[in-house]
Amino acid sequence: MDIWSWICELPNSDEWSESNSPQTFLLAASKPTRLKNNSAQTIELRAERKFGSESESFLTFSIRFLESNSSIAAEIIIWTSDICPLASDKPFLPLILQLLQEIVSRSPTAHDSTCPRSQLQKLKPEPVSWTLDSHSPESFSNFFNFIFLAHLFWLCACDAPSEVGSLYFHSLLAPNLETFSRKAGPVLRNFFITVGTDVEICFMRTFGYIASKWLVSSDVEVGLQSLAPLPSHNLGFSYAMESHGLWILKGYSPAKSMQLEFSNNGRKNQFPAIIDARESVLKYALAHQQLEAVIQLEYTVGFSDGFIQVKACVDNLRFHVVKLGFKKNDQDADWMDEKYFPSRVRVWVGPEVGASYVGGLSLGQSTDNMEREVEMQKSLKGTNGKSKVPNVKTMTTMKSRTKIRNWRWDQDVEGNAAIFDAILCDNTTGAEIATWKPSNGSGIQFRKRYTGGSRAFTKTGGLIFSGEEYKDSVMWRLNKEMEGSVLKWRIGAQVWLTYLPNDINSSYYETRCIEWCDEVDLPLIPSKY
């Protein structure tokens, strides 16, 4: 499926006849096992060349669904593009912009989003044009196929008959989703950097919604499992970059695509495991949530006579679990409002594996011995003279009090990589939430976790760590000979999401985990100022 190469060959195609008959690209066709009443179903992309005023030629594209049997033939036009002027130096830029704009405008947004859809209707052409010019045709082809697949999803979900969506899910989405998401990564990263965070979030929520629908459909055994296995890697996306003294790692992952660590689900990776209707509503709600993470580490470089010192510390760590939906369902609203929450965050940063230019690594935090407060109380009874009635009484008590924080921070090391580890603990028992498993009628409740003054999360369920709270830094000493070079530094993270009931009565619980790792630049170039 190489749609972009086919499109690029259209203006100069030798097969284009003088009558300007349309050119078609077969997107999907029904398999023999799915034929009904000897009918054939296809989804096609059609290109038509037309002429405007002053003999200017242009192309228009349409997506069509065709169904035919021995007696009738039906055709439905699902979508038609804007015109693409062939005289332009980038004739297909309007097509790419239209696809992206329609993906963004239909993306699911968080219920409390502060970015109105109206502000995202018109994308600027410059970032898209730069993305088109700065990548090879093969790389851009993977990106185009990816956005075309996402765009077609919205058409099938919102504007097409159900049989079109069924054919799309089986013949297009199932075999291509994992491949396209993996191959489109390098171009997608550069596109996000140039286009901005608002568009990035909308685009990734669209993909998260598509992936969630596919995974849920596979689990309820509507026929997809026999056609396509579950993904071999996480269906999310992550990338890293260096910007103005910050190392930044961004990651997105549909919750259901994350590795399941443990749960009380009878069937480890299936949905639903429990027949109860409300439990099924809960599992459905959890399956349509996505982790969105931003990890920012601040770094500085110092030059001395004998070595180079690199220092890094936490600037900002932000984690949000968003609902991938469009409207709130009043029925079973409490069950639909249940959410995962981050229960552990492990961030690491350091030189590439095997680097010989690092002379030493120093951590900025000692192992934390829990602070305790102790009060003493003793009892003393006595008498004065020969009286049998005691008239002197004193009493003291002895108590032990431990101060326990919601989040415990540790620093660790693995090779030359420094590790920042934040672990959510129950502020009553001190138990670590990410590894805790409920037992018979006892243990952590952790309810009402988004309300009250001592809550461990924001009101919307997010989690933010700032450098003002966690100022401890780590330092590396590098060989002086590396001055003037730009090194590759690695940055990675593991995030655990846990679900425990918040406002409902349920025994269900689970913990999932995702890991990201990437490279960033470390410029060792002294400033001239």
Cα gap 363→153, rounded to integer Å: 48
List 496's β-bridge partners, or say none.
Answer: 344, 513
* Helix-then-strand count for the chain, H and E: 10, 22
Encoded tokens for 405: 């924080």
Amino acid making up residue 87: A
pLDDT the model gives residue 274: 47
The residue to which tokens 């406002």 are assigned: 503
Q: Which residue has the higher pLDDT, 450 or 330?
A: 450
Cα gap 473→477, rounded to integer Å: 14
Q: Once rounded to an integer, what is the mean pLDDT over residues 366-381?
A: 59
Encoded tokens for 51: 């002429």
Cα gap 145→137, rounded to integer Å: 12
301 has pLDDT over 90:
yes
Cα gap 506→335, rounded to integer Å: 10
CB neighbour list of residue 505: distance below 8 Å, 6 or more residues apart: none
Encoded tokens for 325: 């939906």
**Half-sphere exposure (CA, 13 Å, Cβ side) for 120?**
24
Cα gap 247→299, rounded to integer Å: 7
Cα gap 409→345, rounded to integer Å: 10
152 has pLDDT over 50:
yes
Q: Rounded mean pLDDT of the chain? A: 82
Report, in this order, helix, strand and coil percent for the chain, each rounded to 5: 25, 35, 40
Please answer whether residues 138 and 8 qualify as being in contact, where contact means their C-beta atoms are separated by less than 8 angstroms: no
- In eight-state DSSP terms, residue 409 is E
pLDDT the model gives residue 440: 47
Rounded to 5°, the CA angle 362-485-314 comes to 40
Please answer whether residues 508 and 279 qualify as being in contact, where contact means their C-beta atoms are separated by less than 8 angstroms: yes
Please answer whether residues 432 and 421 qualify as being in contact, where contact means their C-beta atoms are separated by less than 8 angstroms: no
Encoded tokens for 360: 């030493």
Beta pairing class for 510-523 and 486-499: antiparallel
Amino acid making up residue 356: S
Q: Once rounded to an integer, what is the mean pLDDT over residues 327-347?
A: 82
CB neighbour list of residue 102: distance below 8 Å, 6 or more residues apart: 151, 154
Percent of the chain at pLDDT above 70? Answer: 78
CB neighbour list of residue 273: distance below 8 Å, 6 or more residues apart: 265, 266, 267, 283
pLDDT the model gives residue 317: 95
Q: Once rounded to an integer, what is the mean pLDDT over residues 358-368?
A: 78
User: In this structure, is the dihedral angle defined by the CA atoms of residues 432, 434, 440 and 445, taken in order, positive or negative?
Assistant: positive
- In eight-state DSSP terms, residue 390 is -
Cα gap 106→119, rounded to integer Å: 13
- What would the 3-class secondary structure string for 435-451 be? HCCCECCECCCCCCCCC
Please answer whether residues 309 and 474 qualify as being in contact, where contact means their C-beta atoms are separated by less than 8 angstroms: no
pLDDT the model gives residue 13: 65
**pLDDT tens digits for 30-67?**
865 444 566 788 999 999 988 777 767 889 999 999 88
- pLDDT bracket for residue 310 (50, 70, 90): very high
Cα gap 268→258, rounded to integer Å: 13
Cα dist from 57 to 19, 91, 261, whole Å: 13, 11, 58
Cα gap 143→429, rounded to integer Å: 49
CB neighbour list of residue 511: distance below 8 Å, 6 or more residues apart: 260, 261, 262, 263, 343, 434, 435, 496, 497, 498, 499
Report DSSP letters for 496-525, one per residue. EEEE--SSS-----EEEEEEEEEEEEEE--
pLDDT the model gives residue 7: 93
Q: Which residue has the higher pLDDT, 434 or 17?
A: 434
Residue 163 CA, chain-centre distance (Å), reads 30
Closest to 42 in 3D by CA, of 71, 79, 68: 68
CB neighbour list of residue 438: distance below 8 Å, 6 or more residues apart: 264, 444, 500, 507, 509
pTM given for the model? 0.86
pLDDT the model gives residue 372: 54
